[in-house]
Amino acid sequence: MKVNDIDMDAVILGNGEYPTHSMPETMLIMAPYVVCCDGSADEHIRRGFTPDAIIGDGDSLSPDNKERFRTIFHQIDDQETNDQTKAVHFLLDQGKKTIILVGATGKREDHTLGNISLLIDYMKAGAQVTMLTDHGMFIPASGRNCFKSYPGQQISIFNFNATGLRADGLVYPLSDFSNWWQGTLNEATGTEFTIHAEGDYLVYLNY
Amino acid sequence: MKVNDIDMDAVILGNGEYPTHSMPETMLIMAPYVVCCDGSADEHIRRGFTPDAIIGDGDSLSPDNKERFRTIFHQIDDQETNDQTKAVHFLLDQGKKTIILVGATGKREDHTLGNISLLIDYMKAGAQVTMLTDHGMFIPASGRNCFKSYPGQQISIFNFNATGLRADGLVYPLSDFSNWWQGTLNEATGTEFTIHAEGDYLVYLNY
């Protein structure tokens, strides 16, 4: 199995833009368990869905839904972390480790950056996470990993603390990038590629 | 003058979403000189504007506009850099150093990450750059800097290589953050704040 063969215990719907691409949208509809981050529940409910849980400090959830869904609303006021992280730990506490995150990007860019970088923390906490946006997927990884691809697929690698970064199956060579943009705009040559490294990195695969 | 008093020699319109917020939109309309990154010119021209220059490898600009605007289209095929960076260097070569970037985010998140992180490189190359998105502004900085704000304004700090990070005028203390999300979700207490550091960091100010 490749790292990006998608399997899931649960989907987290974030506070960014509600998904419009079929990939995140389909996962959200097919999910065996859906956790909404605070106010994201309003739009999900408005579309006729019922989340399994709503997590957050309750500051963006409508008063109506807070009352109507009070049995599944888990208020967590911790200011040291964000709603996405609260949702991941809520799932890990139930043994749900394979988690897909959707709706995590597309609004404030500082939230987008924060939500993406937190994937590395979730991996370290024992979760197997994939973020599906309207454009592509982000997968946190450590060490040597093999990924499914298609020839010509646009790939970007973001280095967190990895050394010895190199790849088989990508057009341009990797190095121990120190700036985010340096690993962008790469391309898969075939139906899989392998990344070798010591340490953590994030892989973006454009759909 | 504070770092975020906006002044400009030129505006660069990127290949992300065309701006919808009044801040980037106004700057684009008022700009003394507009450079479009490749295909971004198509939408700008469709709205009745004429850019001063179009920069890029020409792979996303429509054939019609490539022909019609051939006198201002500067084709640069360098694969080692992106269109945004080509546009910045095109302006620096003309002595235009105070540059506002709009339309740089909102599509592929790997491009968003790349475009944002490149602001640090442009600062090092001698440009004074501000990125205006539909949600807020990004400003690259180094050392001690003072920023205008309003009480309660949402602020995020992204550490690139800075040490000794601390602030006056923000609600939560800074530290030498190692992960992107750690400096997010801060807040200004008054009409200005100062960041002290050795090295480079990026400040996001929500509108």
Interface test with B, best of A57, A80, A109, A132 (most B CBs within 10 A): A109
Contacts of A156 in chain B (CB under 8 A): 110, 113-114
**Residue B78: what pLDDT?**
85
Interface test with B, best of A110, A155, A160 (most B CBs within 10 A): A110
More confident site: B158 or B2: B158
Contact B105 A109 (CB under 8 A): yes
pLDDT, one tens digit per residue, over A74-84 is 999 887 889 99
Give the model's confidence band at B199: pLDDT under 50 very low, under 70 low, under 90 confident, else very high: very high
**Residue A1: what pLDDT?**
47
Q: What percent of chain B has pLDDT over 90?
A: 89
Give the DSSP letter string of chain A: --TTS---SEEEE-SSPPP-SHHHHHHHHH-SSEEEETTHHHHHHHTT---SEEEE-SSSS-HHHHHHTTTTEEE---TTS-HHHHHHHHHHHTT--EEEEES-SSS-HHHHHHHHHHHHHHHHTT-EEEEE-SSEEEEEEESSEEEE--TT-EEEEEESS-EEEEEESBSS------SGGGG-SEEB-SSEEEEEEESEEEEEEE-
Contacts of A110 in chain B (CB under 8 A): 136, 154, 156, 158, 184, 204, 206
Interface test with A, best of B81, B160, B181 (most A CBs within 10 A): B181
A117 to chain B: nearest residue by CA?
A: B180
pLDDT, one tens digit per residue, over B76-87 is 988 789 999 999
Contact B118 A179 (CB under 8 A): yes
Distance CA A39, CA B30 (A): 36
Contact A181 B118 (CB under 8 A): yes
**Residue B1: what pLDDT?**
47
Q: How far is CA A94 from CA A8, A31, A87, B51, B101, in A?
A: 14, 16, 11, 56, 45
- Nearest by CB to residue B180, choosing from A114, A133, A181, is A114
> What is the helix (H) or strand (E) element at residue B115, kind and residue range?
helix B109-124
> What is the helix (H) or strand (E) element at residue B141, kind and residue range?
strand B136-142
ipTM score: 0.93
B104, B132 Cβ separation under 8 angstroms: no
Any A CB within 8 A of B128 CB: no
Contact B138 A109 (CB under 8 A): yes
Distance CA A188, CA A192 (A): 7
Distance CA B10, CA B13 (A): 10
pLDDT, one tens digit per residue, over B20-47 is 999 999 999 999 999 999 999 999 999 9
Q: What integer is the mean pLDDT of A164-184?
A: 93
Q: Is the pLDDT of residue B75 over 50?
A: yes
Contacts of B120 in chain A (CB under 8 A): 179
B159 to chain A: nearest residue by CA?
A: A179
Any B CB within 8 A of A156 CB: yes
Largest Cα–Cα distance in chain A? 54
Q: What percent of chain B has pLDDT over 70?
A: 97
Amino acid identity of A57? D
Residue B87: which of B149, B23, B141, B131 has the closest Cα?
A: B131
- Nearest by CB to residue B110, choosing from A108, A113, A184, is A184
A105 to chain B: nearest residue by CA?
A: B109
**Cβ contacts of A43 within 8 Å, gap of 6 or more:** A18
What is the residue-averaged pLDDT of chain A? 95
Residue B136: which of A200, A63, A112, A96 has the closest Cα?
A: A112
CA distance B110 to chain A (A): 7
B12, B101 Cβ separation under 8 angstroms: yes
Q: Looking at chain A from residue 65 to 94, which residues have their Cβ under 8 Å from any Cβ of chain B? A: 82
Q: Is the pLDDT of residue A145 over 80?
A: yes
- Nearest by CB to residue A110, choosing from B114, B118, B184, is B184
Tell me the pTM.
0.94
**Residue A50: what pLDDT?**
97
Distance CA B72, CA B75 (A): 10
With 0-12 CB in 10 A as exposed, 13-18 as middle and 19+ as buried, what is A179?
middle
- Whole-number CA gyration radius for chain A: 17
Contact B179 A138 (CB under 8 A): no
Bin B154: left if φ > 0, else alpha if -120 < ψ < 50, else beta.
Answer: beta
Any A CB within 8 A of B124 CB: no
Give the model's confidence band at A177: pLDDT under 50 very low, under 70 low, under 90 confident, else very high: confident
**Cβ contacts of A16 within 8 Å, gap of 6 or more:** A103, A104, A105, A106, A107, A111, A112, A115
CATH number for the domain formed by residue range(s) B3-134:
3.40.50.10240
Contact B114 A185 (CB under 8 A): yes
